[in-house]
Structures are given as structure tokens and as C-alpha cells.
Chains A and B, each alone.
Chain A
Amino acid sequence: MFAEHLNDNLKNGGEVDKAPTRNGYGEGLLEAGKRDDRVVALCCDLTESTRTHLFAEAFPERFVQVGIAEQNLASVGSGMAAMGKIPFISSYAMFSPGRSWEQIRTTICYNNSNVKIVGAHAGVSVGPDGATHQAVEDMAIMRALPNMIVVAPADEHEARKVALAAAKHEGPIYFRLGRSATPVVTTPESPFEIGKAELMFKRDESLEQKVGIISTGSLLYNALKAAEALQADGIGASVLHMATVKPLDTEAVIEFAKEHGSIVTVEEHQKIGGLGSAVAETLSENYPTKMARVGVDDVFGESGEPDELIENFGMGVGSIVEAGKSLT
């Protein structure tokens, strides 16, 4: 059963509107800027594409166009934070944090600097641009950094909430956004809190077999569809949405594993180092549980349409269902 606060069309089996998560970010950043004049935005020649333009147009005096220089972007952000600003630094995830990892490590994380790193165009769903622009390692490299928080919002509503929460949070945070329009499964009323997992679909307890699905980012929709499909095939399935990959809501993960006995993780990211790894680390130390990880399997992406890439790289609804069945 779907969580009450989710999109009605989703619950009724109707058509769900689509929008890119970056749209929600743009609105959230603008709103954060209105609420707090310490919020500033920096961008590397991708202002409209990252939706930073909404802020830049409203607050030109608080916007810094850094040019195509992502290493500089990270450290200029750190310098501005040292003077009391709340910088949001945006680019494509492949370039920031992809290119600027050491600058983020030393000048943002080691300094515990109040910088918000926004990686747009994450995942293979970037589409036709191909592997060079498809960041599927970003969560792994950010997750390894002390002081860093890592978030992958599910849809545009959640992305908006993440931007607002990031502005309020004191310290570094990384969140990733997608390029393509993805199903809007949550509503403005859906809860979001950094570090807190949210149960989005509860299994039919009358079914004897069961599996727990933990997803992050916009694949939440596929995870929900897979849960419905599994239940139609007689396997009780729940979906726990893990927007925050670090710090992981370990209590919720362990409880979920105890409840379901087996876990499938779903992410638009390498299986190495992302949500699947984080869940496996937690469960192997606390409550060893059979797992299957759905994600990119140690390969690079390629050009194509977002949906066909998700399918072909093994993150479609069918792949999640298959992973669930493999555990029961």
C-alpha cells in the first residue's frame, strides 16, 4: 500500500506527471535565497541547465559566475563560506564533484565549510550526451569524505525540500540531480528530513513471501512499480526511500531488514560505493541479510534515451522485480 502523502495518480494507477529534479532545486534555491540573504550561488557556465538562473536573475548581486573552472568553484565556495555566506555551488555532477574531489576534501570537508555542492545531470539518464557526462560514481566519492552528507532526491518536490534543508544545515552537503523528466511521485506535503528514511510502500502482510526494497533518487518510481508487480506475483514487497545515503538511517535499514528478511537496493549509480554498499556495510555488521543490488554494474554508460538506458543498464522495473524474486 502506498504511503498516504504520495501522488494520488500514482496511488490510483493513473498517469503520473514528469519533471526533472533540477527544476525543484531551482525553485528551492530561489526560496532559500528569499528566506536568508546569506545564501549565495556560484555556477560554472551551466546556470540555466542547473536551474541556478532563477536565483541569479532574482539576486544578481549574490550570484558569482565562475566560468568553466570547477576546482576553483569548490574553493571559492569555501572562501565565501569562511566569510559567513551559505554558498550553493552548482555544475554537472561529472565535473563537480567529479573533477574537484580534492578541493572538496581539503577546502570544504576538512575545513568543515558550509558549502552546498549540487551535482546536476547525475546518472545514465542524462541520455544522449553519453558516458563522459553520466556521473555514476559521484555518491561513492562523496560518501567517503568525513563531514559530508549525501542526498539523492526522488523528484522535483523532494529536490526543492533538499535545497531548503541544505541551506539550513550547517556544514557540507552534496546532492545530485537528474537531467531528464522523471515521475513526480511525492507531493509538497511529503515529509523530508536529512538522514531520515521514509516508508513509501508497505507490503501486503497476507502474502507469505516478502522482500524489502530500498531505493534512492528518482528510481523510487521504478521501485514502487516493482513492488506492485511483485505483489501481483504473490510476493509481499515494501519500499523504503533513502534520500539521504550518508548519514544512512541505519536504524530504519536494520528494522526493515528484520521485517523483510531480504533486501534489494536500487540506485542510478555504480553498485560500488553507493546506496547498495552503504546498506550492505550496515547490515553485514548489524544484521546479516541476503541482498541484491540494482545499479550500474562496473561499466560506463553510453548514449541513448533516458528510459532505454535505465532499462539496458539493468535498473528498469523488470530488473528490480527479478532481483526481488532472486531472494525469495
Chain B
Amino acid sequence: MRYLSSDEVKQLEVKANSIRQSIIEMLSEAGSGHTAGPLDMADVFTLLYFGILKHDPKNPDWEERDRVILSNGHICPVLYATLAHAGYFDVEELLTLRKFGSRLQGHPHKGALPGIETSSGPLGSGLSQAVGMAIAERMNNQFSSKFFYCLTGDGELQEGQIWEAAMLAGKEKLHNLIIIVDRNGFQIDGYTQDVMPMEPLAEKFEAFNFDVQEVDGHSMRALNDAIGKAQAVYSQPSVIIAHTIGSKGVDVFERDFRWHGNPPGKGPEDRVPKDEQAKVALEKLRTLAGLIDKDNHA
């Protein structure tokens, strides 16, 4: 496991903030799409692509790369923004999200854009694919150090297929599989605990023979430590339940499930009028919600 210095943590946090700004800009330009999940997973994505993964943005098909399988495809703005910031393609292209002819489809399409490992959107099937990849890799190379990071939502875990896949992962003792759950506690229709309670979630995964960790999904250090530990577990697949705050980074959008499926400009109006939502969100991010003077922030 590699420890992060304070400087590295700071750099990652600044990067995550830039990625969040891109997410707001692209969603606002697209006029549709999901806001809460992409914002709350920005820290996880930043850490993965700028601190954890073996990958090469200039050679996206590099055979030895780790794989990131986005199972909850609807949070793709954070994947696209992170890939662009990591150098897979130009940041300017982010503004084509969801437009006709764009490589940035409303939900990811494998082959359309470098760095996309699978098409996803219909929930629950990404984990199965990650399991298939991890099994195939072990067939190819018993001593492989390649990891398969499957990112899922928490509402997504209501899909039966997730547990079919989890059963197989447990049976096959897929040590190279690491699931990271975005545990923001809500989904389109409301709070997960009301729509379909997922707790006790850790115990569910334990019962399926996973190594389970619960962490603060916004702490670079906590996430880094958890991923490091998951990599070191050899006898089981791992799941990291990342507790996140929906819409993290834009305080006036945070913790409100109505931001799950709406872009800035079309979200709930009680805290910010629709036509100011994108502007306010960018301002909040640039100034870290007023903590710093935006004019002096690089």
C-alpha cells in the first residue's frame, strides 16, 4: 500500500474540485443528466485515476491496465470528466455530452470513447462483467496483479443480478475484484431506506463471502487505505462501501435526493432558482463554498 503525503492529498482534492466543475459545466450544457452521483463520486474517481490505477491515457487499450467497470452508468459525467482531466481526450469535448453525434453518450458506450470498458446504464450488469473479467484474467495468469474495480450505486444493489454476481465472485474467491459502492443513501424516488432499505449492507456482502470495509467516501486517505487493504486481501473479493454525501461539493444541492436525476438548471428550486443553479454551483466549487477568495484561487 502506498501512503499519501499531505501534498498529494491536497493535489488530489484540487483535482477533484476541477472535475466537479467540469461535471456542472457539462450537465448544464447538456440540459439533462444526473448530478448527485457524479459530484459525490468525484473523490473516488480522482483517487483511482490519479493515485491508484495502472493505466496509460495515451494508450487506453494497454493490455496490462487495471479495469474500471462503471456499473451504474448514469453517473458517467464523473467518468467522462475524470478521463478528460487524466488526458484520455480533450476537456473541451466534455461539453458535447448527450448531444447528437457525440462520443459522450448519455450512458457509456464501449468503443465510442477511449477508456470506456463497457456499455452500461441498465443497472446491475456491470458487476457480472467485472466478475467475468476477473475470472478470465485468473485463467490467463495466476499471478496477475491486475485489478478490476467495479463501481456501483447503492440503489443499484436492489437489482437481483448484483447478488447473482456476488455469489459467483464469492465462490470463485476473486481477490482481484474490488467493488466500490457509492453509498449516498438515495435514488430517484427518494431515500434508499424508504424505497427499499439496503441495511444491513455490510453484513449482506459478508454473507456472500466478501471482505467488507466502510469508509468516508470523501477522504482521500481513508479511500486510499481501504483500496490498499482490499488489494492485499487474497482469499476473497472485496467491497468498499464508500459513504458519500449526494451532490458533495455544492452545499446547496447536498443531501437532497431530488438532485439524483436532474441537471443544474432543472433541479429543485427551493434553495436556488433554476436559472442560477449552474452559476451558483460553479461559484461554490471555485471558492470552496466561500472559504477562499475565488480571484486568488488558481
Whether A75 and B161, one on each chain, are in contact in the complex, defined by CB atoms closer than 8 angstroms, is: yes
* CB pair B133 A82 closer than 8 Å: yes
Known: A75-B165, A78-B129, A83-B136. A111 touches B118 (CB 8 A): yes
Is the pair B109, A77 in contact by a Cβ cutoff of 8 Å? no
Chain A 49-63 per-residue mask, 1 if CB under 8 angstroms from chain B, else 0: 000000000000110
Per-residue interface assignment for chain B, residues 164 to 185, with 1 indicating a CB less than 8 Å from any chain A CB and 0 otherwise: 1101100110000000000000
Query: Which one, A40, A66, A102, A110, contacts B168 given CB within 8 A?
Result: A66
Among candidates A62, A80, A81, A107, residue contacting B125 with C-beta atoms closer than 8 Å = A107
With known contacts A84-B140, A107-B125, A76–B132 Cβ distance under 8 A? yes
1/0 contact string of B93-126 vs chain A (CB within 8 Å):
0000000000000000111000001111110111
Pairwise interchain contact A76-B129, C-beta atoms closer than 8 A = yes
Give the residue name and chain of the B residue nearest to A42 (CB): B132
Residues of A within 8 A of B161 (CB): 69, 71-72, 75, 103
CB <8 Å contact, B168 and A80? no
- Any chain A CB within 8 A of the CB of B130? yes
In the complex, chain A residues 95-137 whose Cβ is within 8 Å of any chain B Cβ:
102-103, 106-107, 110-112
- Give every chain A residue within 8 A of B119 (Cβ-Cβ): 106-107, 110-111
Determine how close the nearest CB of chain B comes to the CB of A327; give it in whole angstroms.
44
CA distance A64 to B134 in the complex (A): 12
Distance in angstroms from B143 CB to nearest chain A CB is 15
Closest CB in chain B relative to A56 CB, distance in Å: 14
- Interface: A67 (CB within 8 A): yes
- Interface membership of A79, Cβ < 8 A: yes
Question: Which residues does chain A contribute within 8 Å of B130, judged by CB atoms?
Answer: 79
Contact, CB under 8 Å: B132 / A80: yes
A83 touches B120 (CB 8 A): no
Q: Does B135 contact A (CB under 8 A)?
A: yes
Given contacts A64-B135, A69-B164, A69-B167, contact A76 B128 (CB under 8 A): yes
Q: How far is the CB of A193 from chain B (nearest CB, A)?
A: 27
CB atoms of B132 and A67 under 8 A apart: no
| A102 engages B122 (CB within 8 Å) | yes
Are A79 and B133 in contact, with the CB atoms below 8 A?
yes
B139 interfacial contact with A, CB 8 Å: yes
Does chain A have a CB within 8 A of B41?
A: no
For B165, the chain A residues whose CB sits under 8 A away are 72, 75-76
Cβ–Cβ contact A79 & B164, under 8 A = no
Contacts of B128 in A (CB 8 A): 71-72, 74-76, 78-79, 103, 107
User: Which residues of chain A are within 8 angstroms of B132 by Cβ–Cβ distance?
Assistant: 75-83, 87
**B166 to chain A: closest residue by CB:** A72
| Dominant secondary structure at the B interface | helix
If A67-B167, A71-B161, A72-B165 touch, does A80 touch B120 (CB 8 Å cutoff)?
Answer: no
Size of the chain A interface, CB-CB below 8 angstroms: 29
A72 touching B164 by the CB < 8 A rule?
A: yes
Check A75–B160 contact: CB distance below 8 A: no
User: Within the complex, what minimum Cβ distance (angstroms) separates B8 from chain A?
Assistant: 32
CA distance A103 to B122 in the complex (A): 8
- What separation, in Å, do the CA atoms of A292 and B55 have in the docked complex? 58
- The residues of A that contact B137 with a CB separation of less than 8 Å are 83
A246 at the interface (CB under 8 A from B): no
What residues of B have a CB within 8 angstroms of the CB of A64 in the complex?
135, 168, 172
Residues of A within 8 A of B131 (CB): 72, 76, 79
Given A67-B168, A75-B125, are A82 and B140 neighbors across the interface (CB < 8 Å)?
A: no
Residues of B within 8 A of A106 (CB): 119-122, 125
Residues of B within 8 A of A80 (CB): 132-133, 135-136
Within 8 A of A (CB), among B152-168: 160-161, 164-165, 167-168
- What separation, in Å, do the CA atoms of A102 and B165 have in the docked complex? 16
Residue A85 is within 8 A (CB to CB) of chain B in the complex: yes
Considering the chains assembled together, what is the distance between the CA atoms of A107 and B126 in angstroms? 8
Smallest beta-carbon distance B149→chain A, Å: 13
Residue picked from B117, B132, B135, B168, most chain A C-beta under 10 Å: B132
Pick from B136, B164, B168: contact of A84, CB under 8 Å: B136
Complex: A242 Cα to B171 Cα, angstroms: 42
The answer for the CA separation of A49 and B119 in the assembled complex, in Å, is 32
Contacts of B136 in A (CB 8 A): 40, 79-80, 82-85
Q: Given A82-B117, A103-B161, A75–B129 Cβ distance below 8 Å?
A: yes
User: A111 near B110 (CB under 8 angstroms)?
Assistant: yes
Of the candidates A61, A82, A84, A112, the one whose C-beta lies within 8 Å of that of B129 is: A82
Distance between Cα atoms of A111 and B171 in the complex (Å): 27
A298 CB, min distance to chain B CBs, angstroms: 29
| Cβ B109 vs Cβ A69 within 8 A | no
Chain A residue numbers with a CB within 8 Å of B122 are 102-103, 106
Alpha-carbon gap, A69 to B132, bound state (A): 14
Residues of B within 8 Å of A102, CB to CB, are 122
Contacts of B172 in A (CB 8 A): 64
Q: Give B172's nearest chain A residue, CB to CB.
A: A64
Give me the interface of B with A, judged by CB distance under 8 Å. Answer: 69, 109-111, 117-122, 124-126, 128-137, 139-140, 160-161, 164-165, 167-168, 171-172
3 pairs of A and B residues whose beta carbons are closest in the complex: A79-B132, A75-B128, A79-B129
| A to B CB contacts below 8 Å, 25 in the list | A40-B139, A61-B139, A69-B164, A71-B161, A71-B164, A72-B161, A74-B128, A75-B132, A75-B165, A76-B129, A76-B168, A77-B132, A78-B128, A78-B129, A79-B131, A79-B135, A81-B132, A82-B129, A82-B132, A87-B132, A106-B120, A107-B128, A111-B118, A111-B119, A112-B111
Q: For the A-B complex with A72-B161, A102-B122, A106-B119 known, give 11 more contacts whose Cβ atoms are closer than 8 Å.
A: A71-B124, A74-B125, A79-B118, A79-B130, A83-B132, A85-B136, A103-B128, A107-B119, A110-B119, A111-B110, A112-B111
